[in-house]
Chain A
Amino acid sequence: MATAPNNNIAARPGREQEARQVFVYLPLIAGWLVPGAGHFLLRKWGRGALLSASIVGMFAVGLAMQGKVYASAHEVLDLLGLAGDLGNGLLYVVAQLLGLGADQVRVTTADYGTRFIVVAGLLNVIAAVDAHNLRTGRKS
């Protein structure tokens, strides 16, 4: 009976470490879902605001140019485009739900818009990884 509390104490650091491990990935996940949120969580307000403005701005300009938002992939290039689009996190989900963007690219500017949307997703992934590096101390 007396040994039970000791076992709990011994188990506590493991659980705390596990919880801390999960928390380490929070800026990464938050940054992917909402551009700049990873940096905001780490109180890097200026960097977060600039990243957010750039990524959301690029995504919005892409949509305004009637860029295509990939919904499915039938070819390898479509798969790459879809992977890039998914990097936008919730922006991609909102665009899909609201039916934003074009189904087919008809004009040159729409082709540029499609690239803007894909690149915004890739830049968002870079920003989320940067937030993760800040969290782990790999970057200051």
Chain B
Amino acid sequence: MFRPSHFAALVLFALFASVVFGITQHETPRRMLRYGIYCFVLFVGSAVALSWAMYFIAR
């Protein structure tokens, strides 16, 4: 059984979803790449930010 850490699962999820979003939402390769990176950073960044927010709320 594959047991990644929460962060590794998040990164894998963000990577796969960002590739599909990038390719399907834009037409030129350059814009696909930019949008894919944008989605990846938003996925990971928002999860990390929300995690820290919950950490401080729980204290």
Contacts and interface: CB of A to CB of B under 8 A. Distances in A.
Interface of A: 47, 50-51, 53-55, 57-58, 61, 64-66, 107, 109, 112, 115-116, 119-120, 123, 126-127, 129-130, 139-140
A50 B24 CA distance: 11
Given A65-B4, A109-B9, A130 B24 contact: yes
Nearest to A46: B29
Interface in B12-44: 12-13, 15-17, 19-21, 23-24, 27
Contacts, number: 59
A10 B44 CA distance: 59
A55 B17 CA distance: 8
Interface of B: 1-4, 9, 12-13, 15-17, 19-21, 23-24, 27
B49 to A, nearest CB: 20
Nearest to B12: A61
**By CB atoms of chain A within 10 A, which of B2, B24, B27 has the most?**
B24
Nearest to B1: A66
12 contacts: A51-B24, A55-B16, A58-B13, A61-B2, A64-B2, A65-B3, A107-B3, A116-B12, A119-B13, A126-B20, A127-B23, A130-B23
Given A123-B20, A126-B24, A116 B13 contact: yes
B30 to A, nearest CB: 13
A130 B21 CA distance: 10
A50 B4 contact: no
A51 B17 contact: no
Contacts of A140: 27
A136 B9 CA distance: 36
